[in-house]
Amino acid sequence: MTRFHELAEKFGTPTYVYDLNEVQAARDELLAALPEEFKLFYALKANPHPELVRALREGSGGRLHPEISSTGELAAGLAAGYSGEDFLYTGPAKTYGELHEAISKGVRKFSTDSVTDVQRVAAVAKELGAVAEILLRVNSSTASASTGIRMTGTPSQFGFDAEVLPEVMPELRAIEDVELTGFHFFPLSNAKDEESLIAEFQGTIALAAQLQADLGLELKFLDIGGGFTSPYGVPGVRGHYPKLRDELANALDTHFPNWRTNGPQLACESGRFLIGASGTLLASVSNVKVSRGRKFVILDTGINAFGGMSGLGRLLPVAVAVETGEKTERASLAGPLCTPGDLLGREIEVPIYEPGDTVVIPNVGAYGPTASLLMFLGRPAPTEVIVRGDEVVSVSRIEHERSYQVGSAAQ
């Protein structure tokens, strides 16, 4: 019996298992691939479990910080030991209530997407007697890499279109209670290879320098985004970036000659790379059936717990773990939900399963329960087991609870 089968037997299924050793190994690997002057932001949307966020913080030498876009993620980061000033708050729909809570808890750095976004941050900062640091998220008009998921270069709710920044700068400069400190770029996600990622970063750094000159804005902070790759739901290893450190330094030497001594403060960000390989999903086979010549292995979980960004299918299908020498067959992995869209894998190679067997899906530390259809059909959330090697650190489950307003008919 393997370690995963033992955990499935002990805690039941569906269960996510996250290994803190793997979390910290990924962090150390990525920090080593960047110039030491860089900070690294962890995007909590990948996985906000406080134990994982804490593991990323501990031993990072103060170089790893949380990037959030909700007060729920703020609470998770605070629970993991971060202070308010450590956070970068992003997102195109920051509300008054969210900003009030964030600023009152010490958050000062905000990535903004429009003039009205900056004005809203400023209004709340003024009310609370604070000065907010503003990064202008830039939606560039061109792209350097031809691979990965594009996050820029098209009409978008994210960021200021680069070509209109000169027009809106006078209005931005007139806003009080904020300080315009720099730019935030996030041009792509999950670059196919190191060359594509380097090309994107080189283009971003060049554009940042051009915008600084064109706008007359002294950059104190420059976040060039991410794009670091890691497999999702299939066997494999994280991306490898042996050239990145030197290539970033060369690009910065060209466009920001004094960057090592006079700034700007530089940053990258990552979600899946830092957390993806730490997680394994354990499910049980509920039934096996054949329909018109096709075999279906039906599991006790599906897109309600492993949705690939809310069941969109963008990151699926999965590939289950197959032991060396194990006999396999072609089958579809189906979940328990009453929708034909609840498929984790269509006609994939799997072991010859029988009801009661444990299915092991690797590399699912990112975009698991909180990126899934947890509330659909009222099924319980999966168990989440945190381990460090062979040691079980904690066991938890997200619980759903309906809260009624005072005076409602239910009362």
The residues that are catalytic are: 338
* Cα 223 from Cα 137, distance rounded (Å): 9
Nearest to 159 by CA among 142, 177, 183: 183
Give alpha helix (H) positions in 242-296: 244-255, 259-262, 272-275
Amino acid at 62: G
Nearest to 277 by CA among 308, 311, 236: 236
Cβ-based neighbours of 18, under 8 Å, separated by 6 or more = 47, 49, 51, 52, 275, 278, 279, 365, 384, 385, 386, 387
Which residues lie across from 295 on neighbouring strands?
Answer: 290
* Cα 126 from Cα 123, distance rounded (Å): 5
Report which DSSP code applies to 33.
Answer: H
* Cα angle 37, 222, 210; round to 5: 120
* Cα 368 from Cα 90, distance rounded (Å): 21
Nearest to 198 by CA among 137, 268, 132: 268
- The two tokens of residue 109 are 């750095």
Cα–Cα distances in angstroms (integers) from residue 32 to residues 44, 150, 227, in the given order:
21, 26, 16
Nearest to 52 by CA among 66, 36, 62: 66
* Cα 250 from Cα 240, distance rounded (Å): 19
* Cα 223 from Cα 179, distance rounded (Å): 16
User: Which string of DSSP letters, residue by residue, matches 205-220?
Assistant: HHHHHHHHHHHT---S
Cβ atoms of 361 and 306 closer than 8 Å: yes
> C-alpha 205: how far from its chain's center?
22
Cα–Cα distances in angstroms (integers) from residue 41 to residues 2, 67, 148, 151, 278, in the given order:
35, 6, 20, 17, 18
